[in-house]
Amino acid sequence: MYFAWILYGSETMRNRVTIIFAIAMLIALPFNIRRGIFYREVYVAGMQAFEQDLRSGMSVKELAERHQKFLFGWMPLEQLVGEMRMLQQARMGPWKGTGL
C-alpha cells in the first residue's frame, strides 16, 4: 500500500502517507523489540537444552523426538530425523566440531 501511495498519490498525499507510516512504525517498534527479545530467550533456552542432550549422547532420533516442537513443530518426525542425520554426517550446525 505504501508503494502505491508513493507511486500514484499526489505530492501532498505522498508526504502525509509517508509521515503516517513513519509514525506507525515508530509506535510499533517497542512492541516488535519486546517480541523479538522474548523469541530470542525462547530460542536460546531451547538450543541450550538441545545441545546439552546432544552432548549427553542422545541419538538423532531421541533428539528429534524430544525437541521436535521447538525445532520444527510442523515437520513430520521422520523427515526431521533424516534432516538431522544429514547435518550430523556433514558435521554442520550443532554437530560442527564434534566427533559425534
Closest CA to 100 of 91, 52, 68: 91
41 and 70 Cβ atoms separated by less than 8 Å: no
- DSSP string of 54-98, one letter each residue: HHTT--HHHHHHHHHHHHHTTS-HHHHHHHHHHHHHHT-GGGTT-
pLDDT in tens, the chain (100 residues): 778 877 888 888 888 888 999 999 999 999 999 999 999 999 999 999 999 999 998 999 999 999 999 889 899 999 999 999 999 999 888 888 766 5
Helix (H, G, I), strand (E, B) or coil at 47: helix
